[in-house]
Amino acid sequence: MVPLELVARHGRMMKIFLCGDVMLGRGIDQALPQPCSPVLHEAYMDSATGYLRLAEEANGPIPLPVDLAYVWGTALEELKRAEPDVRIINLETSVTRSDAFEPKGINYRMSPENALCLAAAGIDCCVLANNHVLDAGREGLLDTLSTLWQLHIKSAGAGHNLAQASAPAILEVPGKGRLLVFSFACVTSGTPRRWAARPDAAGVNLLPGLSEASVTAIAHQVAETGRSGDIVIASIHWGPNWGYEIAEDQRWFARELIDRAGVSIVHGHSAHHAKAVEVYKNRLILYGCGDFLNDYEGIKGYEEYRGDLAVMYLATIDVTTRDLRALEIVPLQIRRFQLVRPSRADSDWLQQTLDRESRPLGTTVKPIPDGRFAVSWACAPVGTSC
């Protein structure tokens, strides 16, 4: 790893902001200026305003209605400081006023008007292959795609048909080249198989499995779509909501995408808490980025995983080699539906947890000034893993 202070002097670099699940529906939608109907189809709660009440009971009053930038809180200060070239999130909600709903127990929906909060954070790309983007059915998905298009925000992982759902988002970074973002969902994340896009039907880009055939298909698509010098991200919604274990097939699949498809970053998400970081052959693997925004305050269960602690990942990629040169992690906390700075004790707990989980993969997570973390890794000779 090149020390952070030297990165800027070492050739052309592209800085990319990544995070995990951004769940702006349900309670958060109710807090924003123009919410959908609060009616829910859950056994736990019949109105989204109930999640507002839970959050206020847990952490204090929310100044309703909040403005469109409110939810991002301290993250906006960090984005201004870091000045990433590209900002990518996993948008895990349907953006629609449709009253249709999938009979799956929990449904996330936010209004198209409230989706302006994405623009307030300068989001460039939303990956959509996840287990909530069709919560309001295919009509809701089409509204989501239309809203993002109107906001000039790129998307990947869902579309009007299979060709659109599997196509990458292509982001041009002036003076630095192109970034291709592919988005995939796995059934292990709870994404229903019936949501898979078809040649003649809207849906998500669903992986049939973490298999040799899937790697071959992705490598072929990258070769067909990409140009020499493109930086490629594979964003994958995979695995269960809780637990630090890294499935062997996930690790194998991530490494194969790097080896055979030329992927620079594997952007994994689905777990409600951050998981281990690995750097393989100078390419970044995030096995689970955790929730970045949700309306879970006051909900009991799984407290030991500290799902209230959110993580910003700021990856610096060498444009020439497409390798990772630096990774900075910024810890945040969800309080009253807003991202704030965690206490020193909470920040230390998160750093120590990420370091403990990442060390067996050859990666360390250490504190640096101003409450942030830096990731380090040791590289082996060319031709072997790093």
88-101 tens-digit pLDDT: 999 999 999 999 99
Cα distances (Å, whole numbers) of residue 164 to 145, 197, 386: 11, 9, 35
Instruction: Tell me whether residue 6 is in a domain.
Output: no
Please, is 224 exposed, middle or buried when counting C-beta atoms within 10 Å of its C-beta (0-12, 13-18, 19+)? exposed
Residue numbers of the domain that contains 85: 13-323+332-342
Cα distances (Å, whole numbers) of residue 184 to 18, 138, 252, 352: 16, 17, 16, 30
Instruction: Tell me whether residue 57 is in a domain.
Output: yes
Give residue for tokens 């994340």: 189
Q: What percent of the chain stands above pLDDT 70?
A: 95
Eight-class DSSP state of 72:
G
Instruction: Tell me whether residue 37 is in a domain.
Output: yes
- pLDDT tens column, 40-91: 999 999 999 999 999 999 999 999 999 999 999 999 999 999 999 999 999 9
Q: What are phi and psi of 356, to 5 degrees?
A: -60, -45
Instruction: State both tokens at 141.
Output: 């998905």
pLDDT at 46: 95
d(CA 208, CA 226): 23
Residue 316 has pLDDT above 50, yes or no: yes
Residue 317 has pLDDT above 90, yes or no: yes
Residue 6's pLDDT band (cuts 50, 70, 90): very low
Instruction: Tell me whether residue 371 is in a domain.
Output: no
Sorted by sequence, the CB contacts under 8 Å of residue 127 that are 6+ apart come out as: 88, 89, 90, 91, 155, 156, 157, 169, 181, 183, 235, 237, 267
Longest dimension (CA), the chain: 58
Element (H, E) at 118: helix 116-120
- Domain at 50, CATH number: 3.60.21.10
Q: What is the pTM of this model?
A: 0.95
Instruction: Tell me whether residue 254 is in a domain.
Output: yes
d(CA 299, CA 293): 14
pLDDT at 269: 98
pLDDT at 378: 84
Nearest residue to 23 (alpha-carbon basis) of 120, 104, 90: 90
Average pLDDT over every residue of 14-20: 98
Residue 170 has pLDDT above 80, yes or no: yes
- pLDDT tens column, 334-367: 999 999 999 999 999 999 999 999 999 999 999 9
Element (H, E) at 6: helix 4-7
Q: How many domains does the chain fold into?
A: 1
**Mean confidence (pLDDT) of the chain:** 95
Cα distances (Å, whole numbers) of residue 317 to 12, 125, 156, 209, 378: 9, 17, 21, 29, 17
Instruction: Tell me whether residue 2 is in a domain.
Output: no
Instruction: Tell me whether residue 217 is in a domain.
Output: yes
Instruction: Tell me whether residue 223 is in a domain.
Output: yes
Instruction: State both tokens at 218.
Output: 């992705």
